[in-house]
Structure 1
Amino acid sequence: MRSFQFETPPRIICEQGAALKLADLLQAGGQRRAFVVTDPGLVRAGLVDAPVAAMRQAGLHVSVYDRVLADPPEHVVLEAAAAAREDRAECVIGLGGGSSLDTAKLVALLAARPQDLADIYGPQRAAGPRLPLIQVPTTAGTGSEATPTSVVSTPDHQKRGVISSLLFPDVAVLDARLTAALPPAPTAMTGIDAMVHAIEAYTTRHKKNPMSDLLAVRALQLLHTHLERAIRQGDDLESREAMLLGSLLAGMAFANAPVAAIHALAHPLGSHFHVPHGLANALVMVPILKFNLPAAQACYAELGRALDPALRDAGDERAAQAFIGMMDRHVSSAPIPRRLREVGVSQDDLPVLAEAAMTVDRLLINNPRDLTRDDAFALYSDVF
Structure 2
Amino acid sequence: MSDFTFHYGPQVTSGIGASGDLAPLLPDGPVLFVTDANLRAIGLTDAALAGLAERDVVIFDDVQEDPHEASVLGALELAREAGTQSVVGFGGGSPMDVAKAAAYLLGSGDDIADIYGVGMAEGQGAPLVLVPTTAGTGSEATNIAILTVGETQKKGIVSNALYATHAVLDASLTTGLPRHVTGATGVDAMVHAIEAYTTRRLKNPISDALAKEALRLLSASLITACEEPDNLEVRDAMLRGSYLAGVAFSNAPCAGVHALAYPLGGHFHVPHGLSNALMLPQVLAHTMPAARELYAELAEVVDPTLASLGTQAKAQGFVEAMRDLAIAAGLSPRLADVGISQGDLDLLADEAMLQTRLLQNNMIDITRDDARRMYEAAL
* TM-score of Structure 1 vs Structure 2, range by shorter chain: over 0.9
Aligned to 1:33: 30
Aligned to 1:9: 9
Whole-angstrom CA distance in 2 between matches of 1:229 and 1:48: 26
**Residue type at the aligned position of 2:227:** R
Following superposition, the deviation at residue 151 of structure 1 comes to 0.6
**CA displacement 1:56-91 (0-9 Å, x = unmatched):** 0xx222121111111111111101111011111111
Following superposition, the deviation at residue 307 of structure 1 comes to 2.9
Counterparts of 1:261-276 in structure 2, within 5 Å, are 261-276=256-271
The worse-fitting range, judged by mean Cα deviation, of 253-262 and 47-56 is 47-56
The reply to whether residue 329 of structure 1 matches residue 327 of structure 2 is no
**CA displacement 1:296-346 (0-9 Å, x = unmatched):** 100000001223333334221111111112101112222233221221222
Q: Secondary structure at the residue paired with 1:255?
A: helix
The reply to whether residue 49 of structure 1 matches residue 46 of structure 2 is yes
**Residue type at the aligned position of 1:240:** R
Of 102, 109, 112 in structure 2, the residue corresponding to residue 114 of structure 1 is: 109
Q: Secondary structure at the residue paired with 2:22?
A: helix
Q: Secondary structure at the residue paired with 1:95?
A: strand
**Residue type at the aligned position of 1:145:** E
* C-alpha contact (below 8 Å) 1:82/1:111 kept by paired residues: no
Q: State how many pairs are aligned.
A: 379
**CA displacement 1:258-288 (0-9 Å, x = unmatched):** 1111000000001111111111001111111
The reply to whether residue 143 of structure 1 matches residue 143 of structure 2 is no
Whole-angstrom CA distance in 1 between matches of 2:365 and 2:352: 13
Q: Secondary structure at the residue paired with 1:6?
A: coil
Whole-angstrom CA distance in 2 between matches of 1:334 and 1:317: 26
Structure 2 unaligned residues grouped into runs of 5+: none
**Residue type at the aligned position of 1:24:** P
Q: Deviation above 6 Å: which 4+ runs of structure 1?
A: none
* C-alpha contact (below 8 Å) 2:145/2:156 kept by paired residues: yes
* C-alpha contact (below 8 Å) 2:222/2:329 kept by paired residues: no
Whole-angstrom CA distance in 2 between matches of 1:127 and 1:258: 19
**Residue type at the aligned position of 1:201:** A
The reply to whether residue 104 of structure 1 matches residue 85 of structure 2 is no
**CA displacement 1:1-47 (0-9 Å, x = unmatched):** 21101012241111111001112222xxx323221100011111110
Counterparts of 1:124-203 in structure 2, within 5 Å, are 124-203=119-198
The reply to whether residue 300 of structure 1 matches residue 302 of structure 2 is no
Following superposition, the deviation at residue 156 of structure 1 comes to 4.2
Counterparts of 1:208-357 in structure 2, within 5 Å, are 208-357=203-352
* C-alpha contact (below 8 Å) 1:301/1:316 kept by paired residues: yes
**Residue type at the aligned position of 1:206:** R
Q: TM-score, normalising length from structure 2?
A: 0.98
**CA displacement 1:235-274 (0-9 Å, x = unmatched):** 0011111000000000000000011110000000011111
* C-alpha contact (below 8 Å) 1:180/1:235 kept by paired residues: yes
* C-alpha contact (below 8 Å) 1:8/1:147 kept by paired residues: no
Aligned to 1:20: 20
Of 74, 84, 89 in structure 2, the residue corresponding to residue 89 of structure 1 is: 84
Whole-angstrom CA distance in 2 between matches of 1:341 and 1:306: 31
* C-alpha contact (below 8 Å) 2:10/2:141 kept by paired residues: no
Structure 1 unaligned residues grouped into runs of 5+: none
* C-alpha contact (below 8 Å) 1:111/1:130 kept by paired residues: yes
Q: Secondary structure at the residue paired with 2:19?
A: helix
* C-alpha contact (below 8 Å) 1:201/1:253 kept by paired residues: yes
Whole-angstrom CA distance in 2 between matches of 1:54 and 1:74: 29
Superposed CA RMSD in Å reads 1.1
Whole-angstrom CA distance in 1 between matches of 2:2 and 2:227: 42
